[in-house]
Amino acid sequence: MSPGIEQSIKNQVKPRNYKINASLVSRIIPVVLFLHDNTQSDPVVKANNNPIVVFWFRRDLRLEDNKGLYQALKSGRKVLPLFIFDESVIDPLPGNDHRVSFIYQSLASMDESLQNNGGGLLIKRGKPLEVIRELLSDYPVEAVYCNMDHEPYGRKRDYEVAGLLNDHGIRFHTFWDHLLLHPEKVLKQDGTPYQVFTPYSNRWKQILQSGDLEYHASEKLLKHIMPEQSMPGPEQSSLFPDLTELGFTWSSLKTPSPKINKDLIRAYDRLRDFPAAEGTSKLGVHLRFGTLGIRNLAKIAAELNEVFLGELIWREFYAMILWYYPAVVDQAFKPAYDRIEWRNNEKEFLAWKEGNTGYPMVDAGMRQLNQTGYMHNRLRMVTASFLTKHLLIDWRWGEAYFAEKLFDYELSSNNGGWQWCAGSGCDAAPYFRIFNPYSQQKKFDPQDEFVKKWVPEADSEDYVREIVAHKKARERCLQVYKRALEATSNKNGQ
């Protein structure tokens, strides 16, 4: 697959052409965070209308323990709940994208609860800046509330919206909700961000306080939601459009349950590496879209299993890396690794995607992903290592494919995981660490239960031959990586 085609795939899940200067971000984002503290203008209030506030849902699709919603509902004004299907994000997606179906289903559940309280959820399709501008002309908006995002696109979007609101004298209140600690809270003593997980994790645990886990009972304040009958006439018939009106159809993929299984969490450290066991929570999609709050889950993890809590901290670590180093979206964290001469064989990439490499453990993982939108954590490492080191295909190709398929796709974690496997990321596995798929299968699927489920022909003559011999692939990988790193070392030494 050519880089041009691969860039198109990457754009199917998020806008990937956006470039952001890290130093610029550090200057402009505080303006977004504290705009309401610096705004002296009186809010715009339309004649004969009581002012309202807007709560803008994004990646926090729940009514309970929602920090930003809680603050909006305590504002003393009626709250107009809003969700925008951002055309910059959804337009390139396939018509039956499973994430869109999940989001819509979550919104429908929220809308039902709001209707039981006399309100409703306003759904819009468009570009956020244009939608917000339209709302300002339709409603007497005094302030807009939302929870923050840590991804480059979301930060740029909010900066632009903050500017629009500021021009209209409207306050913009933002809150940190989808992660426990803001990236700027967990820093080294010299004020710089961590680049290695273990010291970051240790510092994270030292800094975390009970207030960071505080429950915000937003669900008890829903009486302050704006009554549906207060909406302008044309809005009432289109508050909640049908999925087809948004340009999508229902996906057949089943969403994992949002239920927190405490028994599973207790056994997580013992079972998490075995794909045939029900040893992982599959809560990633609910953390990604905020249908499950992070605070309660973290409290349970802290009580029941330190290893499970560690996985939540890894999520915060990669979010912090993306916050301070947004260039990692398209570039290696370690610049030397961008000198690797990838083979990028399109035929082999297709075989990997389809689960036809001749390596049962790799193929089982890819087939699970394609058919369910989920892949076991251990297999994410095995399949990523295989693509980047056995086949020498650019990690960006694999990262983009996972982005297209995963229910729980999250840019920072996906990017961090892929760069870890490729050796190019912060605190990554050394380049000479190359997973042997057969050893992985023997250790983590000793009875071949998982392999037999997804690759039933693995022991038959019908199974495809190995795409490349492990020994040959290993030696080739070591040579290519070594050559790239030595070239960088020599260049720096000149």
Separation between Cα atoms, residue 265 and residue 262, nearest integer Å: 5
Tokens found for residue 246: 């948004």
* List 311, 344, 345, 466, catalytic entry: 311
* List 314, 323, 352, 420, catalytic entry: 314
* List 204, 418, 420, 454, catalytic entry: 418
Active site (annotated) includes residue 314: yes
Separation between Cα atoms, residue 291 and residue 110, nearest integer Å: 10
Q: What residues pair up with 124 in beta bridges, in sequence order? A: 84
Please classify residue 416 by burial: count the beta carbons closer than 10 Å to its beta carbon, then call 0-12 exposed, 13-18 middle and 19+ buried.
buried
Active site (annotated) includes residue 311: yes
Rg (CA), the chain: 24
Cα 275 to its chain centre, rounded Å, is 22
* List 56, 352, 395, 420, catalytic entry: 395
Going by DSSP bridges, is the β-strand pair 78-86/141-147 parallel, antiparallel, or unpaired?
A: unpaired
Distances from the Cα of 383 to the Cα of 377, 380, 451, angstroms? 10, 5, 14
Separation between Cα atoms, residue 281 and residue 261, nearest integer Å: 7
* List 64, 117, 342, 466, catalytic entry: 342
DSSP code for 388 = I
List the alpha helices (DSSP H) in 117-245. 128-138, 152-167, 197-207, 233-236
Contact 59, 294 (CB under 8 A): no
Long-range pairs for 292-298: beta carbons < 8 A, 24 or more residues apart: 292/62, 292/258, 292/260, 293/62, 293/64, 293/65, 293/66, 293/177, 294/177, 294/178, 294/179, 294/180, 295/65, 295/180, 295/212, 295/213, 295/214, 295/215, 296/65, 296/215, 296/260, 297/260, 298/180, 298/213
* List 219, 345, 377, 466, catalytic entry: 377
Please give the single-letter amino acid code of residue 361: M
Strand order in the sheet with 78-86: 122-126, 78-86, 52-57, 141-147, 171-175
Contact 178, 71 (CB under 8 A): no
Tokens found for residue 57: 């849902």
User: Integer distance in angstroms from the first to the last C-alpha of the chain?
Assistant: 36
DSSP code for 358 = S
| Catalytically annotated residues | 311, 314, 342, 377, 395, 418
